[in-house]
Amino acid sequence: MKFIDGYWKNLFGYLCASIAVDFKNLTDPLGAAEVEQLKGYLSKDSRRMIGILCCRKSPNGSARRARYEAWSKEGKLVLFVTDKDIRETISLRYDSVNPSNILLKYIQDFFSRLP
């Protein structure tokens, strides 16, 4: 089994050797503070420029704005994943479908909305 292939091989490249994942068990939607915290774990020196925030509920507007700023100012990509998304990835895996397709969809959606 290949660890990195296809789209992921291009995404990781030289600047990204690993992904930071932060799980938040919050009853409220994610805000800018949570994005800022994860952004602190990302750096070019560590070759970690992609982070995933896992949360119970979809993020609020301030979290989305903070994510955009992280990308536009520092080239740090933050993805949001909810409980529903995690359940879907597990379901896809049981159906022998590559579960990373969900993350690819979120990456493509993020880049398609950039000005």
Concatenating the DSSP letter of every residue in 4-59 gives S-HHHHHHHTTT-S-EEEEE---SSPP-HHHHHHHHHH-BTTTTB-EEEEEESS--
66, part of any domain? yes
Domain region containing 79: 16-112
11, part of any domain? no
Domain total of the chain? 1
Where do we find the tokens 């296809």? Answer: 6
How does residue 93 score in pLDDT terms, banded at 50, 70 and 90? confident
62, part of any domain? yes
Where do we find the tokens 């690993």? Answer: 18
Encode pLDDT of 34-63 as tens digits.
999 999 999 988 888 999 999 998 999 999
5, part of any domain? no
3, part of any domain? no
76, part of any domain? yes
pLDDT (mean) for 61-81: 95
52, part of any domain? yes
- Alpha helix (H) residue ranges in 53-100: 61-74, 83-94
Q: Write down the mean pLDDT value for the chain.
A: 85
72, part of any domain? yes
